[in-house]
Amino acid sequence: MPLLAQFERMISVKTMRYLIVLLALAGMVVSVLALRVHYSTGTEPCSINERWDCGVVNHSRYAEIAHIPVAALGIVGYLALASLALARRRVLVIAAALAGLGFALYLTHIERDVLMVWCLYCVISQAIIALIALLALGWVAADWIGRKRAASQV
């Protein structure tokens, strides 16, 4: 049995959609926590040491785009992903997830190569958007296989 067919049997198309929604909600929570750090002035609970400090990242000049906090963009992006998944807009979910993943990879580059400090919330968000992108690709592939199989049976 091909690998994709085994994956399809393990996780139904419906389940993938709801997993995307749950991950998007988790991403919104993480983004809200990062936004809280952005506007705070005290010591943050995620300030672990000189290499892991959410405050340094969220107060840097890279934490805003056109005076809009990146964390706020994350909240809106994850909300859009959840809405698109609930509406069964597979292609738009993939497009949004891949755009989000690309942006998250750019921000990861900023953390690693420019700031040289990691934000725990940002790393968690990176993992969430990567999982959403993989699930979205699997969702479309499983749906495509199901349609192809149904068409061949007709």
**CB-side neighbour CA atoms (13 Å) of 6:** 3
Question: Token pair of 52, please?
Answer: 């892991």
Neighbours of 128 (CB within 10 A): 24
Task: Please measure the distance between the N-terminal and C-terminal CA atoms of the chain and give it in whole angstroms.
Answer: 22
CA dist 99 and 97 (Å) reads: 5
Residue 5 inside a domain? The answer is no
Q: Which residues are within 8 A (CB) of 18 and not within 5 positions of it... i.e. 6 or more apart? A: 85
pLDDT tens string, the chain, 154 residues long: the values are: 566 556 555 566 678 889 999 999 999 999 999 999 999 877 767 777 888 888 889 989 999 999 999 999 999 999 999 999 999 999 999 999 999 999 999 999 999 999 999 999 999 999 999 999 999 998 888 777 777 777 787 6
**3-class SS of residue 147:** helix
Which pLDDT tens digit goes with each residue over 6-26?
655 556 667 888 999 999 999
Residue 72 inside a domain? The answer is yes
Indicate the residue type of 84: L
Residue 23 inside a domain? The answer is yes
Residue 154 inside a domain? The answer is no
Residue 31 inside a domain? The answer is yes
Question: Residue 48 belongs to a domain with what CATH number?
Answer: 1.20.1440.130
Question: Token pair of 2, please?
Answer: 């091909």
What is the number of domains present in the chain?
Answer: 1
